[in-house]
Structure 1
Amino acid sequence: MALTKKKRISLTVILSIVVVVLAVAVGGGIFALTLAQKFDGQTEKIDDPFPDEANRPAKTDTGAQNILLLGSDTRGEIGDKELDNIKGDRSDSMMVLHIPGDRSGVYITSFMRDSWVPIPGHGSAKINAAMAYGGPKLAVEVVEKLINTRIDHVAVIDFDGFEKLTDALGGVTINNPIAFTAMHGKQYFKEGEITLSGTDALSFVRERYSFKDGDYQRARNQQLYMKGVMNKLLSKETLTNPGRVIESIDALAPFLKVDSGLNAGFAAGLAPSMANVRGEDVQFITAPTTGTGTSPDGQSIVRLDDAKMGQLATAFQTDKLEEYFAANKK
């Protein structure tokens, strides 16, 4: 099915869930072989998504894992192109999922799509242009330079399972901080606790025009929804229901393209130390910015906070994101 404009939202909110749930579910012994077969059998592989060795940060020995999550801004299915060579399409969203060496939790850093950054060979541009200029390989290089840390795995998602996942979970409950009416579909979301169905969730995470700070609130809403899904999927209620876990993986795996190392074997390796990870152990933050501005060629952009980005890079390098998140989370 073609990916419609309605469904081109922040696609990577789902990918993080798949990685974590797969590891936790396997660790809990929930139909491990079945999950592995479904995940590996339905995901497609990206050929060599990493930059040349000379252009990469030095390796560290912290034992942490960093996974770059990309949502492609294609107008149709990613499968229509050789993904490792995909150009001309901007990434709809970009996140780095960090699993610390002690496997005590999960830390997800999202980069706003209009962040103005250096892109090797192309000067400065919005971060979401990296995919357009050089595919996943260039996107990895850009992010590695920002966090001065290696990306261990890469995944891109072409999303068409969003509504199915939400509805398979019986809806996702969140505490909405701001009442608003979505521009598309005119759905009204009241302030306070609400339960989102699949269709509602699409409108909720996509909206930006209803807010004074636009993309900033949209990013917060996407993280809020993602947290709700994590809480539901990593709850005892779900993890003791193999059918629900398998249904969730089954709905999402066909829309993922991953590097060859991001497989069920990788998840199984994480599983023993992540079996006790739950929704409250998954933390989210947005890469620090100083606000919006205008580029030299007149584009509306988001300016990264260089000083705090340096602190974030150090936290990645030293595997101390827990401390950084605690000090900077609003």
Structure 2
Amino acid sequence: MAAREREEAAGERPAPLSLFEDVRADGADDGDEGADAAGGPAPSEDGEARRRRRTRRVLVWTLVALFALLLGGTGVAYWTVDHYASSVERIPGAFPTLPADKQPTAVPNTGTTFLLVGLDARSDVPTTGTEAKAPAWKAGAQRSDTMMLLHIAADRKSASIVSLARDTLVDIPGHGKAKINAAYSWGGPSLMVETVQNLTGIRIDHIGVIDWNGFRALTDAVGGVDITIPQTIEARGDARQWDAGTHHMDGAEALLYVRERHGLPNGDLDRSKRQQNFLRALMIQTMDAGTLGSPARLTGLLQAVGDVVSVDDRLSNTDLYELAWSMRGLRPDGVRFMNAPFGGFDSTADGQSVVLLDRPAAATLWEAVRNDRMEQYLAEHRTSSDTLGDSVR
């Protein structure tokens, strides 16, 4: 352990950790020097220093689990890299084949931006825990249920997640104006990336495709999540009633929570906030010592990731590991959630209800993402209704 700490102090990246090397189920540190035969600290050991070292190691494992959820298995490279990272399906041809001058210019040293796409359903996803066999896209078979931009700051100390409502009216190349979720159905990941790049002027570095249905397994793997409903929402049509209070949700109930929109006052806008609220709760539960300290729970979590997420084939196993390692200093409160600025509802010529962006406000947000100035943006817009708060319907 001393050798590993010297490597960290020197700024070198240590070899991938064994699952049980640094954190035991009881939270103790197997490798602390100076421990007596009974496992307690020797009289000469500085207790505060030991706690700092243990906190740092637990944080690394927190990131392992957190980025497995957000980035499709990134953190698993700390533990048996090839097995878990290779279980994440890679998507070929995920980016538009356009000349550089037809795409947003990549701004150097401004962080990394992922486009996260959640699907209504992904065909042939098994429920037995084995890997999904269906492709991430088949022409006309799926529409994206959720679109989120995940921007990771260049200093790796913060991350921002911005949701785009599925009914947002946009220009889809080759198809004209339509709801943004149609882009995935018509042209798969590459058309979706092109559409979002045209809308935002942000160069997308990577894409992750998420199967919401598979989040049942992820939720159950961490023992469920706690979600608070601020006020009772009565049943409407097929939508169930949600009673006010804190609910400990298993995977099946959490899936109902993130998919429902017809019983919510603002429909798809409220649903996107629910999805963010769920991801936040899942992150918190993942970071809980009961998950990190349980080999069974952590194993189940990592095994479920490959069934839930696909990423572009530009991300190798080594890339995933190096990204996770670079983010080891990120703290939970450094991850912020928000919706793209809302500009109202409208209807199309054929009577479809659509969501409009507040274009001037959105332009300010896109510029902040593009130039890695999200901390400044959030400081100036912390009271915005588009930013996820503690009270979510």
Measured against the shorter chain, the TM-score band is 0.7 to 0.9
Call closer, same or farther: CA 1:17–1:223 in 2, change over 3 Å: farther
Are 1:18 and 2:69 counterparts?
Answer: yes
> Are the aligned partners of 2:67 and 2:73 in contact in 1 as well (CA < 8 Å)?
no
Range 85-94 or range 302-311, more displaced: 85-94
Separation (CA, whole Å) in 2 of partners of 1:300 and 1:188: 24
Q: Please give the per-residue CA displacement for 1:84-112, whole angstroms capped at 9, x wherever unaligned.
A: 66445321111111111011122111100
- Please state how far the C-alpha of 1:310 moved relative to its aligned partner: 0.6
Report the AA paired with residue 113 of structure 2.
N
Task: Give the secondary-structure state (helix, strand or coil) at the position aligned to 2:314.
Answer: coil
Are 1:173 and 2:220 counterparts?
Answer: no
Aligned to 2:40: none
Are 1:33 and 2:84 counterparts?
Answer: no
Aligned to 1:324: 377
What is the correspondence of 1:1-330 to structure 2 with a 5 Å cutoff? 18-19=69-70, 22-23=73-74, 32-34=78-80, 36-51=81-96, 52-54=98-100, 55-74=102-121, 76-77=123-124, 83=136, 86-181=139-234, 187-326=240-379, 327=381, 328=384, 329=387
> Are the aligned partners of 1:91 and 1:131 in contact in 2 as well (CA < 8 Å)?
yes
Report the AA paired with residue 317 of structure 1.
R
- Please state how far the C-alpha of 1:73 moved relative to its aligned partner: 3.5
Report the AA paired with residue 170 of structure 1.
G
Task: Give the secondary-structure state (helix, strand or coil) at the position aligned to 2:79.
Answer: helix
Call closer, same or farther: CA 1:245–1:184 in 2, change over 3 Å: farther
Range 236-245 or range 170-179, more displaced: 236-245
Report the AA paired with residue 204 of structure 2.
I
Equivalent residue pairs, number: 311
Call closer, same or farther: CA 1:53–1:72 in 2, change over 3 Å: farther
Report the AA paired with residue 320 of structure 1.
R
Separation (CA, whole Å) in 1 of partners of 2:123 and 2:216: 18
Task: Give the secondary-structure state (helix, strand or coil) at the position aligned to 1:154.
Answer: strand
- Please state how far the C-alpha of 1:66 moved relative to its aligned partner: 0.8
Separation (CA, whole Å) in 2 of partners of 1:123 and 1:85: 21
Call closer, same or farther: CA 1:151–1:161 in 2, change over 3 Å: same
Call closer, same or farther: CA 1:160–1:311 in 2, change over 3 Å: same
- Please state how far the C-alpha of 1:168 moved relative to its aligned partner: 2.0
Call closer, same or farther: CA 1:296–1:188 in 2, change over 3 Å: closer
Separation (CA, whole Å) in 1 of partners of 2:260 and 2:137: 30
Range 175-184 or range 134-143, more displaced: 175-184
Call closer, same or farther: CA 1:255–1:228 in 2, change over 3 Å: closer
Report the AA paired with residue 145 of structure 1.
N
Task: Give the secondary-structure state (helix, strand or coil) at the position aligned to 2:263.
Answer: coil
Separation (CA, whole Å) in 2 of partners of 1:322 and 1:244: 34
Separation (CA, whole Å) in 2 of partners of 1:312 and 1:297: 31
Separation (CA, whole Å) in 2 of partners of 1:181 and 1:206: 16
Call closer, same or farther: CA 1:84–1:209 in 2, change over 3 Å: closer
- The unaligned stretches of length 5 or more in structure 1 are 1-13, 27-31
- Please state how far the C-alpha of 1:23 moved relative to its aligned partner: 4.4
Separation (CA, whole Å) in 2 of partners of 1:88 and 1:170: 32
Separation (CA, whole Å) in 2 of partners of 1:88 and 1:198: 25
Aligned to 2:24: none
Q: Which has the larger radius of gyration?
A: 2
Range 216-225 or range 158-167, more displaced: 158-167
> Are the aligned partners of 2:152 and 2:158 in contact in 1 as well (CA < 8 Å)?
yes
Separation (CA, whole Å) in 1 of partners of 2:258 and 2:295: 28
Aligned to 2:14: none
Call closer, same or farther: CA 1:142–1:251 in 2, change over 3 Å: same
Report the AA paired with residue 69 of structure 2.
V
Bigger helix fraction: 1
Task: Give the secondary-structure state (helix, strand or coil) at the position aligned to 2:350.
Answer: coil
Call closer, same or farther: CA 1:152–1:316 in 2, change over 3 Å: same
Separation (CA, whole Å) in 2 of partners of 1:113 and 1:324: 24
Q: Normalising by structure 1, report the TM-score.
A: 0.84
Separation (CA, whole Å) in 2 of partners of 1:45 and 1:123: 29
> Are the aligned partners of 1:69 and 1:94 in contact in 2 as well (CA < 8 Å)?
yes
- Please state how far the C-alpha of 1:220 moved relative to its aligned partner: 1.6
- Please state how far the C-alpha of 1:288 moved relative to its aligned partner: 0.9
Kindly indicate whether structure 1 or structure 2 has the higher relative contact order, using CA contacts under 8 Å at least 6 residues apart. 1
Call closer, same or farther: CA 1:74–1:19 in 2, change over 3 Å: closer
Range 77-86 or range 118-127, more displaced: 77-86
Call closer, same or farther: CA 1:232–1:83 in 2, change over 3 Å: closer
Call closer, same or farther: CA 1:147–1:45 in 2, change over 3 Å: same
Separation (CA, whole Å) in 2 of partners of 1:101 and 1:318: 10
Q: Normalising by structure 2, report the TM-score.
A: 0.71
- Please state how far the C-alpha of 1:239 moved relative to its aligned partner: 3.2
Call closer, same or farther: CA 1:89–1:163 in 2, change over 3 Å: closer
Task: Give the secondary-structure state (helix, strand or coil) at the position aligned to 2:95.
Answer: coil
